């Protein structure tokens, strides 16, 4: 089955700096890679995703890159702000109808942005 590894487990940056979180996956059939942000006491919130037919996607300060050959994908946050502080999870899955969309998550990265 799919296995997702995520690094680093913690990341501290100064406000305004960039943050990068990296994930690797094992199943070459995986074709959908979402990133979730989880704040204390809340459920995960989707912040960006990428499908296997593209290599990069950007949404304002957030971008995700995908390297299918190497089976890794990364989250890039630029101009970080204190409100970006949270736990970030990457995930991988094979979408319906080839799969069941069940998300396999990485172990999470606790991002702290210091003012």
Whose Cβ is closer to other proteins: residue 18's or residue 107's?
Answer: 107
| Residues 6+ away with beta carbon under 8 Å from 91 | 4, 33, 34, 35, 36, 103, 104, 105, 106
**Measured distance CA(30)–CA(109) in Å, rounded:** 21
Scanning 10-18, 22-30, 40-48, 70-78 for contacts with other proteins by CB under 8 A, the matching segment is 40-48
Whose Cβ is closer to other proteins: residue 13's or residue 87's?
Answer: 87
Binding mask 16-35 for other proteins (x = CB under 8 A): ------------------x-
Whose Cβ is closer to other proteins: residue 38's or residue 65's?
Answer: 38
Q: Is 82 helix (H, G, I), strand (E, B) or coil?
A: helix
């Amino acid at each position: 089955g799919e296995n997702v590894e995520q690094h680093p487990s913690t990341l501290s940056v100064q406000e305004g700096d960039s943050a990068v979180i990296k994930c690797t996956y094992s199943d070459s059939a995986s074709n959908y890679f979402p990133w979730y942000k989880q704040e204390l006491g809340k459920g995960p919130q989707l912040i960006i995703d990428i499908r296997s037919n593209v290599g990069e996607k950007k949404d304002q300060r957030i971008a995700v890159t995908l390297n299918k050959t190497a089976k890794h994908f990364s989250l890039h946050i630029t101009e970080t702000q204190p409100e970006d502080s949270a736990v970030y999870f990457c995930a991988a899955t094979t979408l319906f109808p080839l799969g069941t969309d069940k998300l396999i998550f990485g172990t999470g990265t606790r991002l702290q942005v210091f003012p």
